[in-house]
A and B are shown apart, each in its own frame.
Chain A
Amino acid sequence: MNRVIVFIKQVPDTAELKIDPTTNTMIREGVPSIINPFDMYAIEEGIRIKEKWGDTEVVVVTMGPPQAETALREALSLGCDRAILLSDKKFAASDTYATSYILSCAVKKIGDYDVLITGKQASDGDTAQVGPGIASWLNIPSITYIRKIDEIRAGYAKVERMRNDGFDIIEVTGKFLMTVLKELNEPRIPSFRGKMAAKKAEIPIWSAEYLEADDGKIGFLGSPTRVVRAFSPPPKKGGIKVEGEDEETVNGLYNFLSENKML
């Protein structure tokens, strides 16, 4: 049997986030939670790979507080086969370094696998570091920003990675991790039977001890990142607009560029 592991994150369903002024971290209480929208494409792709390959198990994993179980049940209702919740007070305040370490420990516990999938980034932290971080801990290749999969089978894939100026076609052999973009697929609607089965599914909770995680690499103490200050970046200025007749605008632009020593 083949295995695909999808990592998801439960995030607050709103842009109205409050920051705790003392720790400079987000206050999550009282905000409705959803699956990180980018992770929906990861779930969908995991299920599509299973449908393509047959005899494949899709395992969905998240790290979070006990209520993150809701996100896992939603993933199950869409067609993932089983879910694992990584939850332990010791995981609190983990940064991307510690989080990717914890997730990689879970992969080792799950056992063999063919492909790991995450969304391109989480909508709350926006770091895009956890996916590649997991690959790094596991010492496997990671391919980020996948917009299209040309071919995928156990041990081989040919994919397209989005760039600012086009895309790369990448071939990879062996196990690998991919982070995916919304261009890759259109997430499905859950089925009624899927939803009912997901309600009843048993979701194991794995602790730091069970994962045999190194205490020095998890939680606040295991996290090298320190948030010094959080602030809203100033909005981008509008730039200048050169208006008028053709000659006027050409001269205006020329003068602007030369005055600013850009020519």
Chain B
Amino acid sequence: MISMPYNLTEEQKELVAIAKQIAEEKIKPLREQYDEEQLFPEEIVKILGNSDLYRVFIPEEYDGLGMGVFEMALVTEELSRIDGGIALAYAGSALGAFPIILFGNEQQKKKYLPPIASGEKIAAFALTEPEAGSDAANVKTKAEKKDGYYLLNGTKQWITNGGYAGIYSVFANVDFERGIRGMTAFIVDRDTEGFEIGKKENKLGIRASDTRELIFNNCKVPTENIIGREGMGFRVGVATFDQSRPGVAAQALGIAQGAFEEALKYAHERVQFGKNIYSFQGVSFMIADMAIKIEAARALVYNVAKLVDSGAKRTGGYSAMAKTFASDVAMEVTTNAIQVLGGYGYMKDYPVEKMFRDAKVTQIYEGTNQIQREVIAIHLAKELARIPKK
């Protein structure tokens, strides 16, 4: 990887080395076919599991490595450098697991985290609905309280890992009159009665990632599967995003890095007018700009990830900044990478058109970049209000 060195620990270096080896040796040969045919990388999930990479974001008590968002981001970046879609089979499981890690009780953690740590099961995060996108509190899925269980009814959409997960963090409302305070998070096992996997979406990018509709039809979820408490769902969701957004940022960063490296290499090989096109400033300056923006994005993403890991409060605004900046950089860099490769870049024979398609979603999901700016603006106003008035 051509990038500014960071002072990583021995352990972090080993993680990156393993992720890189998996990406280069196992994912790269599959990526074109998996993108074309929208195949979910089941064998890659197995390799990631056997290599302990899913353990990274799980606490040690539950068979994890007890590392943090930073290490999860390092792995996600390295996988995304080769394939931003396949990387989601990894990062999406972290997203699905965070609600349990952050708010689950001891019993839930003991039951659900070890199989996620080993990769035996992957997790999925199910919040989005047709009418609850940016307006995440507007979920229509209903959870009706019964004796010892809740009956869930509703439909989720665009759920990452939807068809292949074993454990789902699902958001439903127990009382619409209570509005946002009725939102409740549940752990749903794949084989729960009344839970069905719906249609698979046909997407522009990240096509190796499995994006699904989930249908809850009198789905019987035991009361003990509530994450946190009844009515705490919105808080669970927001806190999860604070942890997971550096992961999306890392995915965007990896995609950008991959496209930049392709452009740099190509510009040195491609000869026009008797010399390589890197010798034309019009091209080399584009590539220099890519490197500047990627380094700036990496500095922000790594620092925010470390800030989140430090246990600091009020990190949401910074997580939003990292996600927004890195995804905007990814879109710009992949667009310009195609430009550097010219007609070849537009063809499927080269990987940059796929990177361009994969980059787009990072500006949209886990909160559009417009919603992120909203989060940042609110964060800034709150910070201002914290300054004591003289």
Chain A residues with CB under 8 Å of chain B are 188-196, 199
CB pair A189–B47 under 8 Å, yes or no, is yes
Could you list some 26 contacts between A and B, CB below 8 A? A188-B47, A189-B21, A189-B22, A189-B26, A189-B51, A190-B18, A190-B21, A190-B51, A191-B18, A191-B50, A191-B52, A192-B11, A192-B14, A192-B15, A192-B18, A192-B51, A192-B53, A192-B55, A193-B52, A193-B55, A193-B65, A194-B52, A195-B14, A195-B18, A196-B14, A199-B10
Contact A189 B50 (CB under 8 A): yes
Cα of A191 to Cα of B52 in the assembled complex, Å: 6
A42 to B244, CA, bound (A): 41
State the 4 A-B residue pairs at the shortest beta-carbon distance, nearest first. A192-B52, A191-B52, A191-B51, A195-B14
The yes or no answer to B25 lying at the interface (CB within 8 A) is yes
Expressed in whole angstroms, the Cα–Cα distance for A201 and B21 within the complex equals: 23
Which of B10, B15, B18, B65 touches A189 (beta carbons < 8 Å)?
A: B18
Q: How far is the CA of A191 from the CA of B50 in the complex (A)?
A: 6
Q: Which residues of A contact B11 (CB under 8 A)?
A: 192, 196
Cβ of B51: which chain A residues have Cβ within 8 Å of it?
A: 189-192
When chains A and B are docked, how far (Å) is the Cα of A195 from the Cα of B15?
A: 10
Q: Which residues of chain B come closer than 8 Å to A189, judged between CB atoms? A: 18, 21-22, 25-26, 47, 50-51
Chain A residue with Cβ nearest B11? A196
Question: Using a CB-CB cutoff of 8 Å, which residues 25-58 of chain B contact chain A?
Answer: 25-26, 47, 50-53, 55-56
For B52, give the chain A residue with the smallest CB separation. A192
Could you tell me which B residues sit within 8 Å of A by CB distance?
10-11, 14-15, 18, 21-22, 25-26, 47, 50-53, 55-56, 65
Dominant SS among interface residues on chain B: helix
In the bound complex, residues from chain A placing their C-beta under 8 Å from that of B65 are 192-193
> CB-nearest residue of chain A relative to B47?
A189
CA of A232 to CA of B65, assembled, Å: 51
By a CB distance below 8 angstroms, the chain B residues around A192 are 11, 14-15, 18, 51-53, 55-56, 65
> Hey, which chain A residues are within 8 Å of B15, CB to CB?
192
A194 and B51 CA atoms in complex are apart in Å by 8
Residues of A within 8 A of B21 (CB): 189-190
Say whether, besides A195-B18, A196-B14, A188 and B53 are in contact (CB < 8 Å): no
In addition to A192-B15, A199-B10, 13 A-B residue pairs with Cβ atoms within 8 Å of each other are A188-B47, A188-B50, A189-B21, A189-B22, A189-B26, A189-B51, A190-B18, A191-B52, A192-B53, A192-B55, A193-B52, A194-B52, A195-B14
Which of A188, A190, A191, A192 has the most chain B CB atoms inside 10 A of its CB? A192
Residue of A nearest to B48 (CB): A189
- Docked complex Cα distance between A190 and B50 (Å): 8
- The smallest beta-carbon distance between A195 and chain B, in angstroms, is 5
Cβ–Cβ < 8 Å partners of A196 in chain B: 11, 14
Q: Tell me the minimal C-beta distance from B302 to chain A in angstroms.
A: 20
* A189 to B50 alpha-carbon distance, docked (Å): 8
Whole-angstrom distance between the alpha carbons of A46 and B294 in the complex?
A: 43
The CA of A192 and the CA of B48, in the complex, are separated in Å by 10
- Please indicate the chain B residues that have their CB under 8 angstroms from the CB of A188 in the complex: 47, 50
A40 CB → nearest B CB, Å: 12
**A190 to B53 Cα, complex, angstroms:** 11
Bound state CA distance, A192 and B50, in angstroms? 9
Q: CA–CA, A66 to B230, complex, Å?
A: 62
The CA-CA distance from A196 to B13 in the complex, in Å, is: 11
Q: Max chain B CB contacts within 10 Å: which of A189, A195, A199?
A: A189
Chain A contacts of B18 at CB under 8 A? 189-192, 195
Closest to B21 in A: A189
Chain B residues, Cβ within 8 Å of A194:
52
By beta carbon, the residue of chain B nearest A188 is B50
B388 to chain A, nearest CB (A): 47
Chain A residues, Cβ within 8 Å of B52: 191-194
Shortest CB distance B338–A (Å): 31
What is the CB-to-nearest-CB distance from B147 to chain A, in angstroms, rounded to a whole number?
44
